[in-house]
Amino acid sequence: MPVTRGFFRKRADGPAGRLPPGQYDTGSGWPVLTAEATPRIARSDWSITVDGLVEEPTTWSWDEAHRLPSATYSGDIHCVTTWSKFDMVFGGISVDDLLAAARPRPEARFVLAHSSTGYTTNLPLEDVTGGKAWVVWEAEGRPLTPEHGGPARLLVPHLYFWKSAKWVSRLELLDEDQQGFWERNGYHDRGDPWREQRYQGDA
């Protein structure tokens, strides 16, 4: 699947200092973009697993995940297709708590996030630790809809939004970086919106 640089750019406005370069404020809208058909996953069928280079591979059901300490992210999100949305509120659990239970081994340096659809995306471990990533099931106080990744998605808001895998089901810890779906098709391995890391080869 080739990647084109032909993203359409609208006017760039928004709160001062919060709009990364090349982005526009989508306002009250929240665009729906996906590379695959939207699955309908019952909460009773959903689970999240942390495995790979960990001491205690662990799987949580929907109910078990909800018994973990709740966490909230309030802030902005940025899509590689150039839209940004400000002042979002997501509810769920911290990836730090999942990793604390699974206990990453010293050689673990990367995470490959898996969705129930087969979608994957790669991240450095440091980008999902230290209060920088969540598994969320609420947006704006309401259950996350399937179109936006419900029943639960990964949230890594400091990176472009394709890194926040919809319908997340597994976090696999690795000692070497392994590209995910969009990364194999030309997107940047990290995806920092403030550095405009949209494509392979961007600084």
Condensed to tens digits (0 to 9), the pLDDT of residues 34-68 reads 778 899 999 999 999 999 999 999 999 999 999 99
Whether residue 9 has pLDDT greater than 50: no
| Domain enclosing residue 154, as ranges | 44-195
In a domain, 18, yes or no: no
d(CA 114, CA 47): 12
DSSP state of 181: H
In a domain, 8, yes or no: no
- Segment 174-199 shows an average pLDDT of 97
Number of domains, the chain: 1
d(CA 11, CA 192): 21
Check which CATH number belongs to the domain holding 123 and give it.
3.90.420.10
d(CA 193, CA 21): 7
Is 0.85 topped by the overall pTM? Answer: yes
- What contacts 42, CB < 8 A, 6 or more positions away? 151
Residue 157 is encoded by which pair of tokens? 């808001």
